[in-house]
Amino acid sequence: MYRIALLALAVAGAAAKPAQVTVRLSEWNVQLSEQTVVDGSVTFAVTNAGSIPHAFEIEGHGIEKETPTIQPGDSATLTVTLKPGTYEVYCPVGNDSHKKLGMVAQLRVGHPAGAHSVGYTTAMGDARPAVRTIRVAGGGPVIQILPGPFPFPDSAAPILQAFGDEREGLESQVKNGPYSNNVAPISGTFTFDAWDLGATRDSVYGVAEFTAQDGARWKLVMDRVQTKDVPHHPRFGGVILGLYYHGVTAVHTPLVPTINSAVALWSVGHLYRNGALITDAAMVHVMLLSHTRRDGDFALECWDCSRNTVDELQLQILPGPGEPKFAAPGGFLFVNWEKSAAAREPR
């Protein structure tokens, strides 16, 4: 049990905190002008200072209220009546994906005068949050995705407008990139464990082995996560369990259809080709995601695949910064296991 000490929110004779809180939303932060307010009516003046749509929600003690979606540069207000306690405030966009990317904060509410205090814990309950673990095993047909045109260029084009300096590179991938219908059946295995422990303590261990379309034998060993900036906009890394992104969401590249994922992770790996070490710094992105490809020819079957069964395990391996391209079509490795499974458990 990790209980945070009781906090005296106000003392006799002190001036009451203002009943208005200014909120600034951006990628990927929620900034509050006040961390503590008095109970009663509170108005939140919310501005979207980011480059993609956001919203603001407050939840706790029987309250769950939110603003409409706020476009970049626009503002909204939300007035609620709050009882003493601790509330969670966050961006609910993308089925809470923005919240999972860090757009979350806490607001403490107390009495206006007197030595009153409010108890709260790290999980807004009595217990320390459980460590979340997922074990994934690849299964079903295995395919290698080779360079080619993106099948939904007209759908992706409007979302690409928000990508700034990275837009040119993404537009080149629309014409010939790693998100294509140019696929080849191959063989291989992939299993891993991932631990969602927070922004700086995430962990992963896993091994992928596969024989590529050209006969080369590849082996990847993942033993550490990547938590530094990872293109494309927005930038994030580590292990995230349960994420709605890609496609129309404006979260990460839109050159993958809109999906739900059981796990998304960014890792650094040791990569071998035909038994020889190629690099100790391969850049790896893994998703266990809702099914995007048709049975049979394995073409991308939908622009919004978020309602499909989550059973497609996707592995993308790129050279580290400053390293040469791999000896593979397009210089990258992109492999799918089409019928995969996961088990999640707290530890």
The CA distances from residue 237 to 26, 47, 241, 260, 299, in Å, are: 17, 26, 12, 17, 28
Tell me the angle at which helices 167-175 and 153-160 cross, rounded to the nearest 10 degrees: 180
Mean pLDDT of all residues in 301-320: 96
Q: What is the pLDDT of residues 203-244, one digit of tens each?
A: 999 999 999 999 999 999 999 998 776 666 666 789 999 999
Q: For residue 345, what pLDDT is reported? A: 74
CA 56 to chain centre: 18
What share of the chain in percent tops pLDDT 70?
Answer: 86
Q: For residue 131, what pLDDT is reported? A: 59
- For residue 315, which of 215, 227, 204 has the smallest C-alpha distance? 204
What is the fold of 3-121?
Immunoglobulin-like (2.60.40)
Question: Three-state SS for 168?
Answer: helix
Q: For residue 126, what pLDDT is reported? A: 34
Higher pLDDT, 119 or 111: 111
- For residue 328, which of 186, 231, 191 has the smallest C-alpha distance? 186
C-alpha–C-alpha distance, residues 247 and 258, integer Å: 4
Q: What is the pLDDT of residues 64-77, one digit of tens each?
A: 999 999 998 999 99
258-261's contacts with Cβ under 8 Å and 24+ in sequence apart are 258/303, 258/304, 258/305, 258/306, 259/287, 259/289, 259/290, 259/292, 259/305, 259/306, 260/95, 260/289, 260/290, 260/306, 260/310, 261/287, 261/288, 261/289, 261/290, 261/310
Q: For residue 165, what pLDDT is reported? A: 79
Domain boundaries, the chain: 3-121, 132-346
125 pLDDT tier (thresholds 50, 70, 90): very low
The CA distances from residue 309 to 104, 236, 317, 328, in Å, are: 28, 25, 24, 30
Cβ pair 17, 37 in contact under 8 A: yes
C-alpha–C-alpha distance, residues 299 and 302, integer Å: 9
C-alpha–C-alpha distance, residues 255 and 151, integer Å: 9
pLDDT at 80 over 80: yes
Question: Torsion over CA of 346, 309, 266 and 242, rounded to 10 degrees?
Answer: -50
Higher pLDDT, 93 or 113: 93
Q: For residue 229, what pLDDT is reported? A: 65
C-alpha–C-alpha distance, residues 128 and 122, integer Å: 6
Q: What is the pLDDT of residues 261-296, one digit of tens each?
A: 999 999 999 999 999 999 999 999 999 999 999 999
* 223 CB-contact burial (10 Å; exposed 0-12 / middle 13-18 / buried 19+): middle
Cβ pair 124, 4 in contact under 8 A: no
- Mean pLDDT score of the chain: 87
Mean pLDDT of all residues in 49-74: 93
Residue 246 token pair = 């890609």
Cβ pair 91, 98 in contact under 8 A: yes
The reply to whether the predicted model has a pTM over 0.85 is no
C-alpha–C-alpha distance, residues 307 and 258, integer Å: 9
